[in-house]
Structure 1
Amino acid sequence: MTTHVVVVNGPNLGRLGVRQPDVYGHQDLAELRRLCVAWGGDLGLDVEVRQSDDEAEVIGWMHRAVDEATPVVMNPAAFTHYSYGLADAAHMVTDAGLPLMEVHISNPSARDAFRKHSVISPVATGTITGMGFFGYRLALEAVAHLLAD
């Protein structure tokens, strides 16, 4: 049986490959989607990749993950630093006993001062930063590992 995992991406990640390629790389969201689906397949995971600039939509996806018992890999992007609504929704995921891996393409701690604080990290199962797209692979491996225990 294959486990469904949702990869949720927050604002501006639809602009990957265009926005600050020196920070985020030259690959776009379509490539991230392709890689995550392939990596998930290698791990026996059915991966669905989503992206929205709408905070309410992202929160809704977290609620849906809880309702459907779906593990989450999340790059909350700018919502990382201030979205208490998303933090509450993320808390529901982990409270339901589901893995929630926070991932960031860059290392927020090595960037602007406002990026050094995450309201998501305290409720996430784990956090992976600064590894580019490879961080998503590590997050998916962590989900597979946690589900195997």
Structure 2
Amino acid sequence: MTLPGFGPKAFRAQGRVAFFPAVVAACGLFAAAPALADPIGDWRIADGSASVRIRGCGGGALCGAVATAKDPAMVGRPVLLSMKPSGEQWAGVIVDARSGTKYNGYISMRGEQTLKVEGCVLGGVICGGQSWSRLK
């Protein structure tokens, strides 16, 4: 991908490539790039009936468990297991806290305040998901 005004032709000066301006421009672009948002923290699930606390669980993976719930029996149940970075998302296992059913799953940040959570079956052929809101 070439940004407008940053291709090889943009830096030609009297038949030679102007190297210094290209380096300066590239440094400015990388310095201004925001860091990838971090999903560690507390999240309200889509229907508002519970919150999930996501934390590191070793080896660069993230895990999450029910932190608060309308049904106290749900608190402490794991819902995200071994979510490891994979590009701009984390991939691992999502557990239905009520039934214990496990799914291949993905989480990805949609800004600082929204986490997209997806579970898939049949090798990823059918996926469903929801958006969680950051609490703190």
What's the TM-score, normalizing by structure 1? Answer: 0.25
What's the TM-score, normalizing by structure 2? Answer: 0.26
Higher-strand-fraction structure: 2
Higher-helix-fraction structure: 1
